[in-house]
Amino acid sequence: MELLHSGKVRDVYADGGDLILVASDRVSVYDVVLPTIVPDKGKILTRLSLWWFEQLADVVPNHVVSATDVPDEWEGRALRVRRLTMLPVEWIARGYLAGLGLKEYQKSGTVSGVALPPGLAEASRLPEPVFTPTTKATEGHDEFITYDDVVAEIGADTAAELRETTLEVYRRGAALAAERGIIIADTKLEFGRAADGTLVLGDEVLTPDSSRFWPMDEWRPGRAQHSLDKQYVRDWSSTLDWDRTPPGPQIPQEVVDATRARYVEVYERLTGTRWE
């Protein structure tokens, strides 16, 4: 197999007409891969994505060909997937105000050109979920863009279809998670076109790397929330004196353990199955 791309977390290999997508235990913050791994992280991301792909199968087709027809060395953390031509947009849905969305709102009262009500605080629930796309930067940071920018990039029909699909994935996921006591504050999706032109959900879906998960019984607007996702590592790294450029700092063992525990907890609460 040929290594086509090594990303911050995933490695992509060519295998005949398919791709092998391997989720590592690497952790990145602020687009910097940190030198410390979180054990089982890649397997949790893979297994949770598979579970969500199944839940969302009637909403949008996905890229998975097989979760078992992969090299033994990557069992549990790799997927055989279809080759897609990925679209140059990060498809983000927000139901709550947090992260970069909060910062953008505090500057302008809008996120990706979407006007939001005045007076919202950190972690406020939005009146309805909103679509807030960003660029998909190969270097540097993703930047907010408007829906009109997306239309100009990929065309009105595709933009409209995928905006609605992004919001429906969020709505469906958020409703299912709420039944299990979890708030999905926001999530990021990636889509591509298959060889036949079909729009397909790729990469990962509704994982603690791509989404913000909060315990519903601890949600209190106006402050930072207890997170069951990568935000815990971001928060730890923000307390350090480093310039957010490589090489990143080593993660202390207690932070590694607490991060893994959060990923396991959200997996178990969402899927209803014990992590083994």
Query: What string of pLDDT tens digits covers the 276 residues of the chain?
Result: 999 999 999 999 999 999 999 999 999 998 899 999 999 999 999 999 999 999 999 999 999 999 999 999 999 999 999 999 999 999 999 999 999 999 999 999 999 999 999 999 999 999 999 999 999 866 667 789 999 999 999 999 999 999 999 999 999 999 999 999 999 999 999 999 999 999 999 999 999 999 999 999 999 999 999 999 999 999 999 999 998 889 899 999 999 999 999 999 999 999 999 998
Question: 46 with 78: CB under 8 angstroms?
Answer: yes
Half-sphere exposure of 83 (CA within 13 A, CB side): 10
User: What are the residues facing 85 on neighbouring strands?
Assistant: 193
Q: Is the dihedral of CA 261, 267, 269, 273 positive or negative?
A: negative
pLDDT at res. 139: 61
Name the DSSP letter for residue 58: T
Give the contacts of 230 (CB within 8 A, at least 6 positions apart): 27, 29, 208, 209, 259
Prior bond to 88 cis, omega within 30?
A: no
Q: What local confidence, expressed as pLDDT, does residue 11 receive?
A: 97
Task: State the residue for tokens 């307390």.
Answer: 239
- The pLDDT value recorded for residue 34 is 96
What's the pLDDT at 230? 95
Non-local (6+) Cβ contacts of 53 within 8 A are 62, 64, 201, 205
Q: Which three-class secondary structure state does DSSP give residue 1?
A: coil
Q: Regarding the domain delimited by 85-218, which CATH topology (the fold level of the hierarchy) does it fall under?
A: D-amino Acid Aminotransferase; Chain A, domain 1 (3.30.470)
Q: H helices then E strands: how many in the chain?
A: 6, 17
3-state helix, strand, coil in the chain (%, to 5): 35, 25, 40
Q: d(Cα 76, Cα 70) in Å, to the nearest integer?
A: 9
CA distance 79 to 63: 9
Extents of the domains making up the chain:
85-218
State residue 276's pLDDT score: 83
Q: How far apart are CA 90 and CA 45, in angstroms?
A: 18
CA distance 16 to 65: 13
Separation between Cα atoms, residue 42 and residue 155, nearest integer Å: 34
